[in-house]
A and B are shown apart, each in its own frame.
Chain A
């Protein structure tokens, strides 16, 4: 029992601290640098510190190299956030105002529990499922938790005692309504196809190939569902082009009355949600930890070549594959964020209700017919 618990804790530490939060922290850097490179700029590269003393020369050399890449900016950000005054407006409600960022970041983080990041790992006669919590309702759990995150946003808007923040919260609620439904419905198609809500099981079913060379990934059976899901999920992260709840520079969002680390938590929530969307898209549509043509005993390439691999190497490759796919989706989301202009609010709501929702309904019908026909 205790060992079980320890293993769970280690998995949590590895996945949440090692992967998710690292990605989320690095995303501030990626955001700056990727946008810069896309726009023919250099990007942030001026945050630097040096240690005095002759003995620190090699350390300083390394620091200079890292700082040249702009990698010290996340550190400077964190320091700034912690050093800033934590301000609660006189009109605001103390308790709710303090609670809101925690709610926001909490629901974003617990969601990761259901996401499998690797196959079963066999060490020391023990089979460890590389997933923090195996839940038969994994997908529902994720959708539920992701939509509970709106409470943080809405609470922030309501409890700030500021009309701009209030309007931001209302916009967030309207946007969530418009997109949550389309997102849920778009996932029904993939649910019908795989017939399970458990994500590890779903990823296992995505192993193998059709006709010997197309990997059995969800995106090949549900391309429309994938596009709708990605759109709705990006709306869920509240980033450009769907950043109407925030819109810091122009329309003022729900966190206008937040400062210091509480603001930092809202900021972190956005990035954690970005990672979440990347993880979900990978898991549901791009085979999760599956590597094409890699099976439990090694490679089986379409033209008949095969190579045996030890178990640990296979698990390692799967972990790497998952990380790589997630990183790819993060890149894509950053690309979208720095390419598309923000929607107007009526356009956004219309896209949600009159565009994505009907199309996702049609997608379900077609999928259901195809599934029945194939049976």
Chain B
């Protein structure tokens, strides 16, 4: 039985590798060329017409190309997408993070650096004195989010234009993490106008 099955698969593989015989029309290639040219020229005239129509304000809802003109337009991203980190806040604006160091421990890239300190409220044990994430090392695995017991860290800012001129600028510190985009230094310097 198993041998038969093996034979069967071998035949399948051999058959799959065999090329289909070309018909005479395909061999002289002219008809196929004409078909190809027809297809591409159809695209050409359709898109050209749409481009011109867009210039004069017609058919704006039918796109003439699939291109997203990136720095000018950006793509809709899914809310599930893991984007730049942020730290959630309590009502009074202090970080929810209790400096349990779980995320620092789990981080496979070892790019989270936390210094804990005493929290003034006796019901809460600790809070971070500093909380840095080095985006230059982060692999966007999302483990830090998974592991956090306090829902204190999330990756839902939808910021993915992360580029900087130096390694220091790739380091996000606490104020930036609490209010994403509030400090321009942290690896999210606004794009130069095109």
Contacts and interface: CB of A to CB of B under 8 A. Distances in A.
Contact of B51 (A37, A338, A339, A340): A37
A26 interface: no
A4 interface: no
B67 A42 contact: yes
B37 A37 contact: no
Interface string A25-46: 0000000001011111110000
Contact of B47 (A40, A338, A339, A340): A40
Given A37-B47, A335-B37, A335-B41, A42 B69 contact: yes
A42 B66 CA distance: 8
Nearest to B28: A355
A336 interface: yes
B44 A335 contact: yes
B44 A38 contact: yes
Given A34-B44, A335-B44, A41 B37 contact: no
Interface residues of A, number: 14
A52 to B, nearest CB: 15
Given A335-B41, A336-B37, A36 B30 contact: no
A36 to B, nearest CB: 7
A339 B37 CA distance: 6
A40 B43 CA distance: 7
Interface string B24-52: 00000010010011011101100110010
Interface residues on B, range: 10 to 19
A327 interface: no
A227 interface: yes
B43 A37 contact: yes
Interface string B46-76: 0110010000000000001111010000000
Interface in A240-289: none
B73 to A, nearest CB: 11
Given A40-B43, A42-B67, A340 B48 contact: no
A230 to B, nearest CB: 11
Given A37-B51, A42-B65, A339 B36 contact: yes
Interface centre among A37, A227, A340 (most CB of B within 10 A): A37
A241 to B, nearest CB: 9
B66 A40 contact: yes
Given A336-B37, A339-B36, A340-B36, A38 B66 contact: no
A227 B28 CA distance: 12
Nearest to B36: A339
A189 to B, nearest CB: 18
Contacts of A42: 65, 67, 69
Contacts of B41: 38, 335
B33 A40 contact: no
Nearest to B43: A38
Interface in A27-75: 34, 36-42
A246 B35 CA distance: 26
A38 B65 CA distance: 9
Interface string B148-176: 00000000000000000000000000000
Contacts of B40: 38, 335, 338-339
Interface in A299-350: 335-336, 338-340
Contact of B30 (A34, A227, A339): A227
Nearest to A37: B47
Contacts of B65: 36-37, 40-42
A36 B48 CA distance: 10
A231 to B, nearest CB: 9
B132 to A, nearest CB: 36
A184 B69 CA distance: 48
Given A36-B65, A38-B41, A335-B44, 8 more contacts: A34-B44, A37-B65, A41-B65, A42-B65, A335-B40, A336-B33, A336-B37, A340-B36
30 contacts: A34-B44, A36-B65, A37-B43, A37-B47, A37-B51, A38-B40, A38-B41, A38-B43, A38-B47, A40-B47, A40-B64, A40-B65, A40-B66, A40-B67, A41-B65, A41-B66, A41-B67, A42-B67, A42-B69, A227-B30, A335-B37, A335-B40, A335-B44, A336-B33, A336-B37, A338-B40, A339-B33, A339-B37, A339-B39, A339-B40
Please list the 4 inter-chain residue pairs (A to B) with the smallest Cβ-Cβ separation, ordered nearest first.
Answer: A42-B67, A339-B40, A37-B47, A38-B44
